A and B are shown apart, each in its own frame.
Chain A
Amino acid sequence: MASTTARGTGPDGTADLVQDPSLPPVALDPDVRDAEDRHWTPAKIALWAGIALLGGVSWVVIALVRGETVNAIWFVFAAVCSYLIAYRFYSRYIEKHLLRPDDRRATPAEYRADGRDYVATDRRVLFGHHFAAIAGAGPLVGPVLAAQMGYLPGTIWIIVGVILAGAVQDYLVMFFSMRRGGRSLGQMARDELGVIGGTAALLATLVIMIIIVAILALVVVNALAESPWGVFSVSMTIPIALLMGCYLRFFRPGKVSEVSVLGFVLLIAAIVGGGVIAETSWGSELFLLDKVTIAWGIIVYGFVAAVLPVWLLLAPRDYLSTFMKIGTIVMLAVAIVLVRPVLEVPAVSEFARSGQGPVVAGSLFPFLFVTIACGALSGFHALIASGTTPKLVEKERQTRFIGYGGMLMESFVAIMALVAALSIDRGIYFAMNSSAALTGGTVEGAVAFVNGLGLQGVSLTPEMLTSTATNVGEETIVSRTGGAPTLSVGLATIMAQLVGGTSLMAFWYHFAIMFEALFILTAVDAGTRVARFMLQDSIGNVVPRFRDTSWRPGAWLATAVMVGAWGAVLIMGVTDPLGGINTLFPLFGIANQLLAAIALAVCMAIAAKRGSFRYLWIVAVPLAFASAVTITASVQKIFSDVPAIGYFAQHAAFRDALAAGETSFGTATSVEAMRAVVRNTMIQGVLSVVFVTLAVVVILTAVLATVRAFRAGGGPSSEDAAVPSRVFAPAGWAPSPAEKELEQQWAAHGPVAGRTTPAVRH
């Protein structure tokens, strides 16, 4: 039978989208769908009233009741109920008014089906696949650092932020990319914003990726430094991955689950073995490495991993990482629900107001919103939501479940990380997260520093620090900044209450360190590789030979440039006399949120060109907020005259001290350290200027494109032509009654004979 290829003439290009009459309906009748939505049975009303009530009560307990303690379970209820309501009502509102997906249209997975990159994938599987791609160490680290401001600011931002900003961004980017055959964010920016906006977006993405990879690597370095156990078990992931890679390549091709089970068993053996080896004198000597050595190790590893074939190292690690990710997150959720830890932390701490917190400097606005990026609003997701996932979506309406729903899941991970970090003693929290410049890196120094902070209800003893360190099998837990060790202590404490008691705490601690390192190193590998391709593509504009990605010298050179760039930032962070994480982490958050602002700006321009002006606020509000946060944060980082906050103020303070002939200043105890601060602050300051300039260019060009579209009542569409779909699948996790009925019709109809791919012009 001839399939009609529609060439759109209507506003959405769907005017002549006629489906094959010999097939059952490929989409629910909109009237049936609306009727189903509006049909409120008493049971349904009771269910949603119950969810709203439970959510409301939980919020009251968290936000208004001021007791000595608060139980973690209220955070879980408040989050889950808010997510359910947002998903059911707000995301549907966006779907109905702003995006208007049309299941009569084939998705790229259908009209470009090639059996490889474009493959229609079951929505539930794709949800997991997408979630595994977006969730990593980010939502586990940011909330831990933000916990210094108390539990309430972080909780509100994670939940409200994801509902109004983060999930909206992911959903919109995924939908618009799907309508464009899975085009990347950079390509969409060029299409919608022109050469200047597009180039700025591409450059910004490249620079931001460098900084994100560098700071993620810094988190790993801080988690592994001075920890023979951690170094051993994390390094063992490399031979394990190599073994898995060879197994899949030469012995049992395609048996991914099988090899993953093998890898997982070896991984657990590596964690247990690490404990044994760290006990021996040779083991603790061999694997006790300082930060600089580990940083160089990661840099060399990053280069090698990015030039080796994917099958050998990257792909098997990615399998392990996927299983670990989903397994650990489920484990953490179950443990928090079963253990229900009690948090003894103020709702809003002194540092939220003063901005003088030792963990990350800066007041609540804007620094809370950049410290917690992943989990609330993460620009990096726009790179995943455009590209891979849209090529696998089966039906247009599923993007709400996968895009919006997937991000809600990541937000839940962030809430659990926050709860885990808050469940440990506050004194220990500050001893772990204040840089060595403040604590001197010693137990006595940490106790004196933390007790000297004058925090209510905090009285730290040396014994608390040493016994916790012994319990988790570490030499020391003082100044283990970066968030990962704190989260691991929290997770180990919670898990130990569930199984094994203190005797298993060391295992759980190193299990947590291992999975965080695994996520991060996978992100480092993949990030370096993606950045290398972007760089090669950019150089290719000038030297065409670089476009050929299989040309070895070009690939090696581009990889070396990218690794060199993030490696330099990493070394700078590791050797920073001011502490590293507390000066660099804001840069990570700002970079990530600027990318979010760029993505939202591109989405706003697209939505405006589609003529959806009445509902443009859905994008404009999070865009305005993300812009305000990142631009304020950048401006403070650049212009603040408080040295702890402003990079150039710090730079000037140390430069003047050097000029005055001083040999120690602040936390820098030598002239060399002072010179390092002068250099580092200059680099960080210049990076801030570059980021914010690029982002402002992108946002301005997007606003310009939006205004132009507004004047013209819309604009040209860069969507692929509409092609009638020939398949049906439900939109959400569970099919609705009407969808079930359609599914039965399709089952009765039998397989579609000679289902071919209609030719499409590009």
Chain B
Amino acid sequence: MPTAGVTTVPAAVLDALRRAGRGLAWYTRGLVREDAYERYVAHLRATHPDPDHPVPTPRQFWREQADRQDDHPEGRCC
């Protein structure tokens, strides 16, 4: 219901905005490798179809991930 003075935003525009927002979120998550846990779990599931195969909890995974970086430093350029 449009209120006085406020123009309604067409659904298509809202939809496009929502899609752009989702795209941006997907991109930034990928950029800083925030999706590392999901990817690792997906990899485990694909390579070890056995449902009892242990999967780390997010906390375990991130702790391990950070500690691994200690031994695999990545260069940053000038």
Contacts and interface: CB of A to CB of B under 8 A. Distances in A.
Listed residue (B31, B42, B46) with the most chain A CB atoms within 10 angstroms of its CB? B31
A137 B42 CA distance: 37
A384 B78 CA distance: 11
Interface in A532-586: 532-533, 549-550
B20 to A, nearest CB: 14
Contact of A757 (B28, B47, B69, B76): B47
Q: Do most interface residues of chain A lie in helix, strand or loop, or is the interface mixed?
A: helix
Contacts of A378: 77-78
Interface in A217-276: 248-249, 253-257, 260
A260 B32 CA distance: 10
Given A136-B78, A260-B32, A310-B66, A549 B71 contact: yes
Interface residues of B, number: 39
B5 interface: no
B69 A135 contact: no
Interface string B8-29: 0000000000000000010111
Contact of A115 (B27, B43, B49, B74): B43
Interface in B20-73: 25, 27-34, 36-37, 39-44, 46-47, 49, 58-59, 61-63, 65-73
Contact of A254 (B25, B30, B62): B62
B75 interface: yes
Interface string A131-166: 011111110000000000000000000000000000
A529 interface: yes
Nearest to A137: B78
Sorting the interface of chain A by its residue count into under 10, 10 to 19, 20 to 34 or 35 or more gives 35 or more
Contacts of B77: 133-136, 138, 374, 378, 380-381, 383-384, 523
B30 A125 contact: yes
A115 B42 contact: yes
Contact of A133 (B59, B61, B62, B74): B74
A647 interface: no
A566 to B, nearest CB: 13
A224 to B, nearest CB: 18
| Of listed A256, A319, A525, A592, residue having the most chain B CB within 10 A | A256
Contacts of A399: none
Given A115-B42, A315-B69, A254 B78 contact: no
B66 to A, nearest CB: 4
B46 A319 contact: no
A311 interface: yes
B28 to A, nearest CB: 6
Contact of B40 (A116, A260, A526, A529): A116
Contacts of B72: 117
Contacts of A319: 32
A124 B66 CA distance: 24
B59 to A, nearest CB: 5
A219 to B, nearest CB: 9
Contact of B69 (A212, A254, A310, A326): A310
Interface string A299-336: 00000000001110011001101110010000000000
Nearest to A380: B77
Nearest to A385: B77
A249 B60 CA distance: 10
A47 B70 CA distance: 49
Nearest to B37: A254
A592 B71 CA distance: 26
Nearest to B25: A257
A362 interface: no
B69 to A, nearest CB: 4
A526 B74 contact: yes
B58 A380 contact: no
A91 B54 CA distance: 45
A249 B42 CA distance: 23
- Report, nearest first, the 7 A-B pairs whose CB atoms are least far apart: A115-B43, A125-B30, A138-B78, A311-B66, A253-B62, A529-B73, A526-B76
Given A380-B77, A754-B49, 10 more contacts: A113-B47, A115-B39, A128-B27, A254-B34, A256-B34, A380-B78, A523-B78, A526-B74, A527-B76, A549-B71
18 contacts: A132-B31, A133-B77, A248-B66, A254-B34, A254-B62, A256-B34, A257-B34, A310-B66, A310-B70, A311-B67, A378-B77, A381-B77, A384-B76, A520-B78, A522-B76, A530-B74, A532-B73, A533-B73
